[in-house]
Amino acid sequence: MASKYDKRKLQDLIRASNGQMDQALGVVVEEMRNEIVESFGTSPAGRTYRRGRKTHTASQAGFPPNVDTGQLKASIRARRMGGLRTLHLKYRIEDGVTWGIYMELGTPSGKIKKRPFVRPVFEAWGQGGKALKRLRELLGEVFS
């Protein structure tokens, strides 16, 4: 059962910020997206194999994927899902390819091992407090 909480203070803060909260959140989400994209190709080398005329060196399992065709990396987008009218500031970071989820989580069969590129960034920004710190930097006295 989901717990109930009073959202009025947050909604008041969103209203009082005159769009600054939405802009700041957009900046944070875009910075997270950039960090995800920059993680591609930073992993230790895994298996090297040929596919047609192209040779690819995969990343080691457990690390972000190395770039092969570049489609997954190029498809990572940050998108605004809500807005000030509804007082629900929602953003989404997503990829635009069908196999992105398999790179992140691996396949049920285990043929493709996990190569997380989204979760580590979300964990660093959430649990590490990086998102809250960055929002405070961007919003100044509005957020205090």
pLDDT for the residue 3: 54
- 48-78 exposure pattern, b = at least 16 Cβ within 10 A, e = fewer: eeeeeeeeeebbeeebbbbeeeeebbeebeb
What is the distance in angstroms between the CA of the first residue and the CA of the last residue of the chain?
32
Residue 17 φ/ψ, nearest 5 degrees: -80, -5
pLDDT digits (tens, 9 = 90+) for 47-76: 999 988 999 999 999 999 999 999 999 999
Both tokens of residue 101? 């989820």
More confident residue, 80 or 5: 80
pLDDT for the residue 9: 66
pLDDT digits (tens, 9 = 90+) for 2-18: 556 566 766 666 666 66
More confident residue, 34 or 144: 34
More confident residue, 104 or 25: 104
- Is 90 exceeded by the pLDDT of residue 84? no
pLDDT for the residue 6: 66
Round to whole Å and give the CA distance between 30 and 93.
9
